[in-house]
Structure 1
Amino acid sequence: MGKATAGIRFKATLQRPAQPKGAAWRFLVLPAAASAKLPTRSMVTVEGTFERQPFQATLEPDGAGSHWLKVDRTLWEAAAVGAGDTVELEVAPVAREPEPTVPADLRRALAAHPDALATWKDITAVARRDWIHWITSGKKAETRVKRIATACDKLASGMRRACCFDRSGMYSKGSMGAPEPAE
């Protein structure tokens, strides 16, 4: 991972999430002007620096036309910052989206459906990430089970993208968005 090229520089306030209580991670919401320079309103993987500490992460849509960044404990501690601090970042989209981690239940379902697996192997990393996000964004366990079955059926029929999935989070309030900050 090298330093971001054609970087987007900005400052933001590091925040502690209200939920889950005691979370070790922190987050920040990108300023609208910085987010507008990204190639998409949906998830986008970036690399760059966080208080001069190198990192790579996937920004998620905040549901309001911008993006938010989940900052793991290792990074915010290495930068010697905490919740409430203003931090400086420089980011740029990666040249190639990384492969997403496939949840075990989805991996087992795909293995049991050869036609679905064939399509899965043929689609892009971004499309795989979208399918995973759609499956995992359900709040109930039974929703996840239904979505895995639906995904396998759709992939087996040759569908390459998760249909009717709001990648920006702007139209599906509640399923995507930045965390609420702790007080």
Structure 2
Amino acid sequence: MKQEFNAVIKQHGEKNASFIEPPFDVKEVFGSKRVKVKATFDGVEYRGSVVSMGGCYMLGITQEIRNKIGKGFGDEIFVTLEKDEEERSVEIPEDFGREMNNNEAALATFKTLSYSAQKEYITWITSAKREETRLDRIAKSVVLLSEGKKLR
């Protein structure tokens, strides 16, 4: 059951972080206070979770999405939301996978991370503009993971 509505991009405190508030009772519509969703913001696709915080429901919008749609805090956007029941998994780049396979502790930690935490590692690695930076990030990731740490 897809929900479609207009929403205003709100700023989270003083941070460069934003969210929208669905104009309906999320628990009533989706059956849970926290629900994984497939969303679009002005047509740009996103997978995330609607959560209840401080008495209201919210869904975060990444800075990358705000840049793609050319909108910021206070702007109105068209949103679609539907419950996401597909399994979430990240595609591990070959070079990163090879390095993790050489370190049992790193691989074990990576497998225990949530989809979002895994995606954060992958995005950090694949967003490197230079090969040298990418290799450095892979090495740092393997060290952090072998120590049982998330990226942030």
TM interval, shorter chain, is: 0.5 to 0.7
The 1-side partners of 2:83 and 2:21 are apart by 10
- 1:62 positional shift: 2.1
Aligned to 2:38: 47
Amino acid of the structure 2 residue aligned with 1:110: M
Q: How many residues align?
A: 113
For residue 90 of structure 1, report the CA deviation from its aligned partner: 1.7
On the 8 A contact 2:109/2:145 being kept in 1, the answer is yes
Instruction: Flag the 1:113–1:123 CA change in 2: closer, same or farther, 3 A.
Output: same
* Structure-2 change in CA distance of 1:67 and 1:94 (3 Å): farther
**For residues 56 and 93 of structure 1, what CA distance do their matches in structure 2 show?**
14
Where does residue 32 of structure 1 map in the other structure? 9
Paired residue for 2:5?
A: 9
Indicate the SS of the match to 1:9. strand
Q: Which position in structure 1 is the counterpart of 2:133?
A: 143
**Residue 127 in 1 paired to residue 127 in 2?**
no
Greater relative CO, 1 or 2 (CA 8 Å, sep 6+): 1
Aligned partners of 1:100 and 1:129 also within 8 Å = yes
Q: 1:110, 1:125 → 2: CA distance?
A: 17
TM-score computed with the length of structure 1 as normaliser: 0.48
Q: Percent identical across equivalent pairs?
A: 24
- 5+ long unaligned stretches in structure 1: 11-29, 39-44, 71-86, 164-183
CA contact (8 A) 1:135 1:148 kept: yes
Name the TM-score, length of structure 2 as normaliser.
0.56
Identify, as 1 or 2, the structure richer in helix. 2
Q: What is the CA-CA distance between 1:146 and the residue it aligns to?
A: 0.3
Q: Is the 8 A contact 2:39 2:47 kept in 1?
A: no
Unmatched runs of 5 consecutive residues or more in structure 2? 11-17, 23-35, 49-60, 70-76
In structure 2, what residue type is equivalent to 1:37?
Answer: E
1:104-134 superposed Cα distances (whole Å, 9 cap, x missing partner): 1111111111110011111111110111111
> What's the RMSD between the two structures over aligned residues?
3.8
State how far apart, in whole Å, the 2-side matches of 1:137 and 1:50 are. Answer: 22
Q: Choose which of 74, 96, 99 in structure 2 pairs with 1:106.
A: 96
Do the aligned residues in 1 keep the contact of 2:39 with 2:46 (CA within 8 Å)? no
Q: Could you tell me how far 1:37 is from its partner in structure 2? A: 2.1
Cα displacement (A) at 1:47: 2.1
Distance 1:49 1:152 in 2: 33
